[in-house]
Amino acid sequence: MKVRVTVMLKEGVLDPQGKAIGHALGTLGFAELGEVRCGKVIDLDVPANDAGAAVTQGEAMARALLANDVIEDFSVEALS
Amino acid sequence: MKVRVTVMLKEGVLDPQGKAIGHALGTLGFAELGEVRCGKVIDLDVPANDAGAAVTQGEAMARALLANDVIEDFSVEALS
Amino acid sequence: MSNVVIDADLAARYGLTGDEYQTLLGIMGRVPTLTELGIFSVMWSEHCSYKSSRVHLRTLPTTAPWIIHGPGENAGVVDIGDGMAAIFKMESHNHPSFIEPYQGAATGVGGILRDVFTMGARPIANLNALRFGDPRHAGTRRIVDGVVRGIGGYGNCVGVPTVGGEVNFHPAYDGNPLVNAMTVGIARQDRIFLSAAAGIGNPVVYVGSKTGRDGIHGATMSSAGFDENAQAKRPTVQVGDPFTEKLLIEACLELMATDAIVAIQDMGAAGLTSSAVEMAGKGGVGIELDLDAVPQRETGMTAYEMMLSESQERMLMVLKPEHTEAARAIFEKWELDFAVVGVLTDTARITVKHQGRVEADIPLAPLADAAPVYHRPMALLHPPAHLGSVADPEGIEHALLHLLACPDLASRAWIWNQYDSTLGGQTVRRPGTADAAIVRVEGTNRALALTTDCTPRFCKADPKVGGAQAVAEAWRNITATGALPLAVTDNLNFGNPEHPEVMAQFAAAIAGMGDACRVLDFPVVSGNVSLYNQTKHASGMAVDILPTPAIGGLGVIDDVSKAIGYAMPESCDLILIGTQRGDLGQSLWLREIAHREDGAPPVLDLHAERRNGDFVRAQILSGHIIACHDVSDGGLLIAVAEMAMAGGIGATLLPPAHGLSLHAFYYAEDQACYVAATTDGAALIAAAEKAHVPVRRLGRSGGDALKLSDGMSVAIERLRSVNEATLPAMMDR
Amino acid sequence: MKAGIVVFPGTNRERDMAQALRLTSGVAPQMIWHRETSLPSLDLVVLPGGFSHGDYLRSGAMAAHSPIMAEVRRFAERGGYVLGVCNGFQILTEAHLLPGALLRNAGMRFLSQDCHLKVERDGLAFTRRWTSGAVFRAPMAHGDGNYTASEDTLDRLEGEGRVVFRYATADGAVLPQDRTCNPNGSARAIAGIASENGRVCGLMPHPENLVDPAIGGTDGAPLFTGLIEALAA
Ligand SMILES: Nc1ncnc2c1ncn2[C@@H]1O[C@H](COP(=O)(O)OP(=O)(O)O)[C@@H](O)[C@H]1O
Ligand SMILES: [Mg+2]
């Protein structure tokens, strides 16, 4: 089963990358953008038989390694 | 409107990050993982009134800046 | 793909001419398989066979008593004393850096590192010679950004300091930047590893990353029409993995401390094909590969794809069989793939097996010996005459500020601040502090002096003078630190060799380089040729780049405490060593201020170069010169200004003597000239006169402004602010 | 002083650190491979700079889970001295041995340049050779050095005197909003912090690269000579 772990900086944590992207989009002429936030996705192929089990595994991996809970939140979804 | 742009390396392109993450998860005891792929997400707040227009704007930004079409693919979805 | 018809047409799409295909048929005695055709096409490509350049390269001097290995090995090897050797080479990644600047440049750094550590050296320094298009051109900023990030991204992570380089901008590079990366490593002379395979029955071992469909010969693309799956199998851009390279360096060096390796070669261009063919060919043995054993990242790869893949961070080795398991343990410790993929045979052939079938079976000697060699036609060159005097439209001060801000002279700090230059703890002189970077050899008192140089505008005007000048400037930059120049590596970047004009530039530049190398005792020990560098315009017209024979120079200084930089010291006499002719032809002043790009490049007298330089070096080592900068891009006043900016101390200059106009005196790019700072000007002048070295008193250091006899006075802070503003303004706006 | 340097795959400043320790203490430190499951008897554990595991995912994240880190944690809990520089600092935060995290530099570029550090807290083993307010030069070389923590955590660090070094101008002014003075954008210009007991210290710049007069100067040497003194006592 494939799962996707999405990791974003917590609200309130400054996002230098998002800020830089917002700035660059502005210079390219994309106006009136609100806040831009940048995060990571990790797609994993886990040995699970159903979506529920797969998501549980993805969450365990996010807690163990993929996200740093000091600065980041994560969400996990089953793919296809 | 909020949109999420997800950028992943094209199939066949080496993903050193994904490789290292898969390896690290393995040493943490998460066994039997298939290929791990790592990408980025950019959440944008665009000045659009409906999801369709928002996605179109997200796509334009992905093409202009957010994705490097030589090695990356992207997808755009409207959020909430 | 079994229904593919292999014939001269297909061969042509793989880049083989009709004649070359006939030669292939003669060697094989039958129609080749697709894999065989692929092997011939890459081995006989310009990149691997040097078919257009070989006859000219042969004329370069490559020997000296201190040269241990010249061209022909993965990198050149130079004796630096105490049983130690410096191993170095430069290589281009021009075309990939245009397509994908970050990855193109990054993998360029990775590739040149492998050439050096494959010989047993620990890489201790990287340099990079870069040429970009017009800063105003739409694409330039993206390329500069990606290339600089890519070089830093790879070098910083892999753990090798980037200590120097050079950058030029010119519209001729708009569609074809040049990214030349140089690596220098250190090894013990008794632990140098070569690539000639030996020992029938010895295992052939593959280590490093897995093989994917990365960068498979562009030929597949142009012939993709025959396969409906072509899209899925399209060659992909190579992505660098500096982390894996770091592990590969450590694992290889650990293995090299044992007795296990018979031969080793990195997998560079044309991957498994060229490494296997070259190792076996050089050793005069046969080689049999079993592709089923090759570690693979993707499924369903064909023999053709595996043989031509350019996946990065891989090496091929021949081991002593009894050491194979110990070697495996080392690579497993470093978490790298290790696979026995073949064996050396007595057949003198390369045999490639895959899934029970023989996919290629080629005799090695004819593959190498019958490789094409071309004497391509050359046009007659007409180097321009020297310019007469040129009027000064702007005055000295305006030109000074204008030149310091122009992209070719602006501070490169924006670039080198993205490169880790202190990593390793041996960097004595970082970028922007001396004419050559100085890197100590760990555990000794000795240091290497490293530089890259080339002035393409001179090469375009007169390739022979330009080729010689590039070598002379590298020699001079090393000399100006007090180090003794020992050898060079080169990266010959030229346009389309099928253009007689380009071929003539190539031959003339090599002739000039050879002259300079001979007079300066500065032989060529390694190098790389990159042809077909052209900017294609929307109109379909292709314009060749400026001829750019980049030179990487290496020197040694036995006592690192004697190495000097160019930061202006307080209260010193400033002495000009060398003859000031005042010829402004092809100078930056002429281009930036008079808006002309004509005339002959400055006169280059190699014997004067040698004499002046040997004098300067001796005076540095005896402590009489305490700061020194050569006169190069921008001329004398720019050299003084760079010293002032580096030291934060100003200078007051005397009027020019011998009837030269001010602008000619200050902005001509005269060769074989140095600005030397000394506490005793009279003594230095006397010593120079005794050695028949032209010399003149230039002025005195001190204060916080640069002052001229005509009343000009510009604060150093002002010089710095214009000099440092250009690149950030261009890149981080 | 018996020092050990932990080497992770991708660590690349271990030789610099070893050279600095050797030069200042006269004793060569031991190198400890990350897969070891026990530490030898040591006075000081150093986590050096580099790109452990390529710094892929997040700088220091994967290294923080290496087998040796459980031992380093135990060593610290027993009151051992731990120094983390650059990637070592990142690893210490990822391992929660120090609070906060290091984000991408504010300007989004790798920064390799000299900076000036102001000593905010003297008297620690790491700073005993300086007095508070002293300024010294150190090279920095990192892409992710932008220190961040919650406002509460920052206040607590300040209140407990655990901010050890701040980015400053050459004459000691601390200007958090000024990119020439605080190049990576760190919160409150924090360059280095310590644990509650003052024995675990992490900082981004590289004092180990300035300990040799032949290689640029000795501005960083007091950190090491101070440690040697403290640990000999
Ligand atoms: N691409 C680069 N990477 C690193 N350092 C560079 C680069 N380009 C220029 N530099 C450094 O900038 C300084 C000035 O370069 P340059 O003007 O070409 O020197 P010179 O004219 O003395 O040969 C040198 O220290 C050089 O090593
Ligand atoms: Mg020079």
pLDDT tens digits, residue range C74-94? 999 999 999 999 999 999 999
Q: What is the rounded distance in angstroms from the CA atom of residue A46 to the CA atom of residue C715? A: 65
Does C217 score more than 70 pLDDT?
Answer: no
User: Is the model's pLDDT at A20 over the cut of 60?
Assistant: yes
Residue C234 pLDDT more than 70?
no
Cβ contact C528:C90 at 8 Å: yes
Across residues C432-449, what is the average pLDDT?
97
Size of interface C-D (CB pairs under 8 A): 88
Residue in chain B closest to C214 (alpha carbons) equals B13
Confidence of residue C539 (pLDDT cuts 50, 70, 90): confident
Mean pLDDT of C420-440: 97
Mean pLDDT score across all residues of chain C: 94
Average pLDDT of the segment spanning C539-563: 96
C2 pLDDT tier (thresholds 50, 70, 90): low
Per DSSP, the three-state class of C14 is coil
Q: Is C95 annotated as a binding residue?
A: yes
Residue C165 in contact with ligand 1 by CB distance below 6 A: yes
Report whether pLDDT(C225) > 90. Answer: no
Query: Does the CB atom of residue C152 touch ligand 1 within 6 A?
Result: no
Mean pLDDT of C412-417: 97
The tally of domains found in chain D comes to: 1
Tell me the per-residue pLDDT of D185-224, one tens digit each, with 9 for 90 and over: 999 999 999 999 999 999 999 999 999 999 999 999 999 9
**Does pLDDT of C657 surpass 80?**
no
pLDDT over 70, % of chain D: 100
Q: Say whether pLDDT at D24 is over 60.
A: yes
Q: What would the DSSP string read from start to end of D112-128?
A: EEEEEEEE---SSTTTT
Model confidence at C4, in pLDDT bands (50, 70, 90)?
A: confident
Span between the terminal Cα atoms of chain A, in Å = 8
Structure confidence at residue C395 (pLDDT): 94
Model pTM? 0.96
* Touching partners of D (3+ C-beta pairs < 8 Å): A, B, C
Q: Residue C279 to residues C258, C264, C267, C316, C394: CA-CA distances in angstroms?
A: 20, 8, 11, 9, 61
Give the pLDDT mean for C374-379: 96
Helix axis angle for C34-43 and C18-28, nearest 10°, is: 120
Q: Average of pLDDT values for D105-129?
A: 97
Q: Is C89 labeled as ligand-binding? A: yes
Mean pLDDT of C122-133: 98
Question: Any residues with CB less than 8 A from the CB of C46 and at least 6 apart, and which?
Answer: C52, C497, C529, C531, C532
Pick D206 or C219 by higher pLDDT.
Answer: D206
Please tell me the distance from the alpha carbon of residue C595 to that of residue C260, in angstroms, as a whole number: 61
pLDDT of residue C269: 81
Q: Which residues of C touch B14 (CB under 8 A)?
A: 209, 212, 214, 238-239, 241, 297, 311-312
**Structure tokens that stand for C169 in this block:** 């901008």
Q: Which amino acid is at C103?
A: Q
Residue C237's pLDDT is: 80
Q: Which atom of ligand 1 is nearest to the CA of C409?
A: 17
What pLDDT does A76 receive?
Answer: 98
A44 touches chain D (CB under 8 A): no
* Position C519 pLDDT exceeds 50: yes
- C565 confidence band (pLDDT: 50, 70, 90): very high
- Catalytic-residue membership of D208: yes
Residue A30 has pLDDT above 80, yes or no: yes
For tokens 């070359």, name the residue.
C20
User: For testing the chain C interface, which of B14, B17, B70, B73 should be mutated: the one with the most C CBs within 10 Å?
Assistant: B14
D49 pLDDT band, cuts 50/70/90, is very high
D198: CATH? 3.40.50.880
Quote the tokens at residue C353.
């097996």
Residues 6+ apart with CB under 8 A from A43: A2, A3, A4, A5, A79, B8, B18, B36, B37, B38, B39
ipTM of the complex: 0.94
Looking at every residue in chain A, the average pLDDT score rounds to: 94
Is the pLDDT reported for residue C397 higher than 70?
yes
pLDDT at C418 over 90: yes
Inform me whether the pLDDT recorded for C213 exceeds 70: yes
The catalytic residue among D86, D115, D181, D201 is D86
The band of C222, judged by pLDDT with boundaries at 50, 70 and 90, is very low
Task: Render pLDDT for C327-343 as a digit per residue (tens, 0 to 9).
Answer: 999 999 999 999 999 99
- Measure the CA–CA gap between C252 and C103, rounded to whole angstroms: 24
State the Cα–Cα distance between residues A11 and C541, nearest whole angstrom.
Answer: 53
**Residues C286-305, mean pLDDT to the nearest whole number:** 96
Residue D127 corresponds to which tokens in the numbers above? 């700073």
Query: What is the number of residues in chain C?
Result: 733
Give the pLDDT score at C710: 87
Q: Whose CA is nearest to atom 27 of ligand 1?
A: C164
Question: Distance between CA C1 and CA C432 in Å, rounded?
Answer: 56
Mean pLDDT of C626-638: 98
List of chain D residues whose C-beta atoms are within 8 Å of the C-beta of residue C424: 15-16
Model pLDDT, residue D209: 97
Query: Quick check: CB of C185 below 6 Å from ligand 1?
Result: no
Does the pLDDT at position C228 exceed 80?
Answer: no
Average pLDDT of chain D, as a whole number: 97
Rounded CA separation C640/C633 (Å): 12
pLDDT in tens, B5-60: 999 999 889 999 999 999 999 999 998 788 899 999 999 999 988 999 999 999 99
Q: What is the pLDDT of residue C3?
A: 65
Calculate the CA dihedral of residues C651, C654, C659, C661 and round it to 10 degrees.
40
Least confident of C44-53, C157-166, C433-442, C546-555: C44-53
Give the confidence band of C221 by pLDDT, cuts at 50, 70, 90.
very low
Q: What is the DSSP letter of B65?
A: I
Q: Assign C235 a pLDDT band (cuts: 50, 70, 90).
A: low
Residue with tokens 């939140």: A73
Asked if D62 lies within 8 A of B17 by C-beta distance, the reply is no
Question: Beta strands C542-544 and C534-536: pairing type?
Answer: antiparallel
Residue C231 pLDDT > 50: no
Q: Give me the pLDDT at residue C20, please.
A: 95
And the tokens for C296? 């693979």
To the nearest whole angstrom, how far is the Cα of D130 from the nearest Cα of chain B?
40
Compute the distance between CA of residue A74 and CA of residue A44 in angstroms, rounded to an integer: 14
Give residue D131's domain range: 3-232
Mean pLDDT of the region A60-67 = 97
Nearest CA in chain B to D65: B28
The rounded distance, in Å, linking the Cα atoms of B46 and B41 is: 15
Q: What is the pLDDT of residues C5-31, one digit of tens each?
A: 899 999 998 889 999 999 999 999 999
Q: Inter-chain contact A70–D105, Cβ cutoff 8 Å? A: no
List the domain boundaries for chain B: 2-79
> Can you list the domains of chain C with their CATH numbers?
564-733 (3.90.650.10)
CA C458 / ligand 2 centre spacing (Å): 15
Contact D143, D116 (CB under 8 A): no
Q: Look at residue C223 and tell me whether its pLDDT is greater than 80.
A: no
Report domain A2-79's class: alpha beta
